[in-house]
């Protein structure tokens, strides 16, 4: 794995540690309101300053990292499970099953994913659990197409034919032989997908349909800072940088894993 990918992994590891140890890292209560300290610029007492309600932005950023990673990992974990299940069945069995699943994928891809998520969230209501489930249920198509292509190329290999000749069931072959041998591209897609889920959550929260206050999210911190941009530039600077760095880190790690799994690049 190249150095840039290791750099991305280091950032993700640091964010994970920040999320896990948020109660020990945060210097203030992230939801504590104090009108006596509104829009205090970054200082030794408030590393990232305070917002229009006097809340410590550094503490809110730390807790928001926990929410961002949690939603990103669980949401695309759901999408990956659905995609791997449907894609492997489609690629292995073929025929009418493949046609039905492929048409379902094509139908889902006809809808702009973000606007589909917006519509569903507006109907069922915004909450952390709803966001994770909705992102997962609307983001599995790329994973399904990827694993389907891998299964199609693997199911005619000798080890699969040998397992079938020994009497192994179809689902045993899929779970024990095909999916493990096609896991490399799935892992790459998962890393990229987590970055997309983090960005989607931030967009939803910025529009007011994601994580609801007083729970901190990088997106809703940005939304709150929009009203005080002229006098409190720091309110939008730090969450914007956090989103940028996090998405970039996952993309760098994904690129590194893809390069490491590509035999032509290794040679």
The verdict on residue 156 lying in a domain is: yes
Q: How far apart are CA 266 and CA 184, in angstroms?
A: 15
Asked if the structure places residue 102 within a domain, the reply is: yes
pLDDT tens digits, 12-63: 999 999 999 999 999 899 999 988 889 999 999 899 999 999 999 999 999 9
CATH assignment of the domain containing 242 = 1.10.3720.10
Is 30 part of any domain?
Answer: no
Question: Which pLDDT does position 125 carry in this prediction?
Answer: 83
Q: Can you list the residues of the chain whose pLDDT is less than 50?
A: 267
What one-character-per-residue DSSP string does 201-254 give?
HHHHHHTTSSSPTTS--HHHHHHHHHTTTTT-THHHHHHHHHHHHHHHHHHHHH
Tokens of 257: 């894993």
User: Helix, strand, or coil here: 136?
Assistant: helix
Domain membership of residue 170 (yes or no) is: yes
Asked if residue 46 is part of any domain, the answer here is: no
7 falls within a domain: yes
Q: Tell me, yes or no, whether 52 lies in a domain.
A: no
**Domains identified in the chain, total number:** 1
Alpha-carbon distance of 202 to 244, in angstroms, equals: 11
Q: Does residue 26 sit within a domain?
A: no
Give the range of the structural domain holding residue 76, as residue numbers without chain letter: 3-18+57-266
């Amino acid at each position: 794995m190249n150095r840039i990918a290791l750099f991305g992994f280091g950032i993700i590891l640091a964010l994970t540690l920040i999320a896990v140890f948020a109660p020990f890292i945060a210097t203030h209560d992230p939801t504590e309101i104090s009108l006596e300290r509104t829009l205090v610029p970054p200082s030794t007492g408030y590393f990232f300053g305070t917002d229009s309600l006097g809340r410590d932005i550094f503490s809110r950023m730390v807790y928001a990292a926990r929410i961002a990673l949690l939603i990103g990992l669980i949401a695309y974990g759901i999408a990956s499970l659905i995609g791997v299940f449907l894609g492997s069945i489609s690629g292995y069995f073929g025929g009418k099953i493949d046609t039905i699943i492929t048409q379902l994928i094509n139908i889902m891809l006809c809808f702009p994913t973000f606007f589909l998520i917006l519509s569903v969230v507006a109907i069922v209501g915004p909450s952390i659990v709803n966001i994770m489930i909705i992102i997962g249920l609307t983001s599995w198509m790329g994973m399904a197409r990827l694993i389907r292509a891998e299964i199609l190329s693997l199911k005619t290999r000798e080890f699969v034919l040998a397992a079938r000749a020994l009497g192994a069931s179809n689902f045993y072959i899929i779970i024990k032989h095909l999916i493990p041998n096609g896991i490399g591209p799935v892992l790459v897609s998962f890393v990229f997908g987590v970055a997309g889920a983090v960005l989607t959550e931030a967009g939803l929260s910025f529009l007011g349909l994601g994580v609801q206050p007083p729970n901190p999210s990088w997106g809703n911190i940005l939304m709150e800072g929009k009203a005080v941009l002229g006098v409190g530039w720091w309110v939008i600077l730090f969450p914007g940088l956090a989103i940028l760095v996090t998405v970039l880190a996952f993309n760098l790690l994904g690129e590194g894993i893809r390069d490491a799994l590509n035999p032509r690049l290794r040679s």
